[in-house]
Amino acid sequence: MPELLLLRPEQHGFVPNNPSLPVMIYRDAFAVGDSDLAAAMEARFEANGWPPQWRDGIYDFHHYHAAGHEILGIAAGEVDLVIGGEGGEAISAKAGDVLLLPAGTGHCRLSASEDLLVIGAYPPGQSGDIMREAPSVSQRATMAQLAFPRLDPVMGEDGPLSTHWASGPLER
């Protein structure tokens, strides 16, 4: 059972963060072993309704996504990042950890090991648009209405998503 950390960053500068949904950090969500951790993450995210869309790293500038909730699965290496925009909370993540960022959540890589590999996933129909300026009124409204799969991306039916993200609209 992974350890779950919740963050509720407030608005910092141009980054709105999400006033309703917390950031969820799953520590040791996947066992690091001889298997292909990236493929294991992709398979579980897909099975739980969060189709993976990319393999890469994390940008080294503050940004957020207005058009999608985002999963960051750390498939290899280690990373230090800031969650919440400039003045946000510095955290570290390592292979096996997963971050669930609700739309509007700022994030920025501070440093990373050379072998960092991140699996990025979004709910169906959503994307990782790169926002580096304050959202418009209509973008804020869109972020507040973005649906998400009813299954927790890491733990499925019995995961903490339904408890901690209960205020958001579920996909049917």
**pLDDT range class, residue 33, cuts 50, 70, 90:** confident
Residue 171 pLDDT greater than 70, yes or no? no
Share of the chain above pLDDT 70, in %: 96
Cα 166–Cα 59–Cα 40 angle in degrees, nearest 5: 60
Question: Could you read off the pLDDT of 123-151 as tens digits, one per residue?
Answer: 999 988 999 999 999 999 999 989 988 89
> What pLDDT is stored for residue 166 in this prediction?
74
* Tokens 């299954």 -> residue: 151
Determine contact, residues 89/8, Cβ cutoff 8 Å.
no
Share of the chain above pLDDT 90, in %: 84
**pLDDT range class, residue 170, cuts 50, 70, 90:** low
Rounded to an integer, what distance in angstroms lies between the CA atom of residue 27 and that of residue 132? Answer: 28
Residue 46 pLDDT greater than 60, yes or no? yes
Question: Domains of the chain by range and CATH?
Answer: 3-149 (2.60.120.10)
Q: Where are the beta strands (DSSP E) in 60-154?
A: 70-76, 78-83, 89-94, 98-101, 107-112, 117-121
**pLDDT range class, residue 172, cuts 50, 70, 90:** very low
